[in-house]
Amino acid sequence: MTQSKTVTVHILDKEYCIACPQDERANLESAARYLDGKMREIRTSGKVIGADRVAVMAALNITHDLLHKQQRLDMDASSTRQQVRDLLDRVDQALADDPKAP
């Protein structure tokens, strides 16, 4: 079992101590840097005021990006499955047309 240790991250000038397994520390720190960057972008735009609202807007933007990428992956997987089916059909047809086939 992996032991959790406390990791300190900084997001929008605030410090957060988070329990995290040692092998996930780099991922947590990367996620915190990413979130910090997104929140700073939103705050810098001047369109959203207040840390809570900035956090919600960042969460919505990140979630939107994630769902869009997941949708794209699903579409790509579906396309790949169809291409494989088409290739298998062509192989089956080529084998059926081969007079040497048993």
Q: What is the pLDDT of residues 47-96, one digit of tens each?
A: 888 999 999 999 999 999 999 999 999 999 999 999 999 999 999 898 88
The angle at the Cα of 72, spanning 71 to 75, to the nearest 5 degrees, equals 85
CA 26 to chain centre: 16
In a domain, 32, yes or no: yes
Predicted TM-score (pTM) of the model is 0.72
Domain count of the chain?
1
- Give me the CATH number covering residue 45: 3.30.160.880
Query: Quick check: helix, strand or coil at residue 48?
Result: coil
In a domain, 85, yes or no: yes
- DSSP secondary structure letter of residue 3: P
Cβ-contact 66, 34 below 8 angstroms = no
Query: In which band, very low, low, confident or very high, does the pLDDT at 1 lie, cut at 50, 70 and 90?
Result: low
In a domain, 102, yes or no: no
In a domain, 22, yes or no: yes
Number of H helices, E strands in the chain: 2, 2
Domain that holds residue 40: 4-97
In a domain, 24, yes or no: yes
18-31 per-position pLDDT tens digit: 999 999 999 999 99
